[in-house]
Amino acid sequence: MRRAGLFGVLRVRPWSWQAFLLGLAVVAMSAVLQGICVALGAKLYFAAFLPGLFVLAFVAGAPAAAFAALLTIPLVWWAFIPPFFAFNALTSASADSINLFCLLAILLIGLADLCRKTVTIIRSGGLKPSGKSAATNPQ
């Protein structure tokens, strides 16, 4: 683990066991938060998991976030989609919720990966000019 120079964000190497362990921790914390939301009456099945996926992808990389997203789907199906704590056939609304979560997870993980790469470029001193420009014609 190392600390990035920009914003002081703790970063973990992608594909390391620490990244995947952090993914498990993020899914567990999001499940607790989602459980609280369900107890208060919210019916948004994946609402607490999306911000956690973005932060995880930014801190630990896309592989750990993809692992967490794949782990989230059966967890939400089992624990938060009625009937609770049972795998039953999905209704069309529940299947649509899972499909929407997959789409949003892919977009958020991609955005976080771009942000992570941008921070890496900025930390290394930014983009270097190549000396050649497409706007000038050396004739």
Sign of CA dihedral 86, 88, 92, 96: positive
Please compute the mean of the pLDDT values over residues 12-30 and round it to a whole number: 95
CB-CB contact of 76 with 49 (8 Å): yes
How much of the chain exceeds pLDDT 70, in percent?
86
Instruction: Please tell me whether residue 90 adopts helix, strand or coil conformation.
Output: coil
**Would you state the pLDDT for residue 9?**
61
Q: Taking 50 as the threshold, does the pLDDT of residue 121 lie above it?
A: yes
Please compute the mean of the pLDDT values over residues 123-131 and round it to a whole number: 76
**Would you state the pLDDT for residue 6?**
45
**Would you state the pLDDT for residue 88?**
92
